[in-house]
Amino acid sequence: MAIAITSLTANAQSVVGKWITEEGDANVEIYEADGKINGKVIWLKAGPDTKDTKNPDEKLRNRKLMGVNLLSGLTKKGDRYEGGKVYDPHSGKSYKCAIWVDGNDLKVRGYLGPFRETQTWKRKK
């Protein structure tokens, strides 16, 4: 029984899973691939045909945002995952980032030089 409880607690603290962004306009599935943590868009309030119109690469502006990795290349360091990037489709910019679980929330922090912004994502039930 102790093993089952430990397993449930560890799973509740995992970044892997489905999350609702702070604005509630997207759901992101965080997954592990090749030892890195990534997060792709799996639902958009604006609809599945929403394009990546703000992408700095003109060739990518016609791609659909569904399936695009907003989080990429994160590795575990203590209680956080760091060293990756977060892509903001609202601005078309990418930032260094760190993510960590805080209770039932996921903190997603983007960095630009000395500046930082942290969003709180909710676990999708």
Residues 66-123 have pLDDT tens digits of 999 999 999 999 999 999 999 999 999 999 999 999 999 999 999 999 999 999 999 9
What is the end-to-end Cα distance of the chain in Å, rounded? 24
Question: Which segments within 25-92 are labelled E, that is strand?
Answer: 26-33, 36-44, 69-77, 80-88
Neighbours of 3 (CB within 10 A): 7
Q: Over 90: is that where the pLDDT of 9 sits?
A: no
Q: For position 54, what pLDDT does the model report?
A: 97
Q: Considering the domain 2-123 in this protein, what is its CATH number?
A: 2.40.128.520
Strand partners, 87: 94
Rounded distance between C-alpha atoms, residue 116 and residue 100, angstroms = 15
| DSSP letter assigned to residue 25 | S
58 vs 8: which has the higher pLDDT:
58
For the whole model, what pTM was predicted?
Answer: 0.88
Better-scored residue on pLDDT, 3 or 105: 105
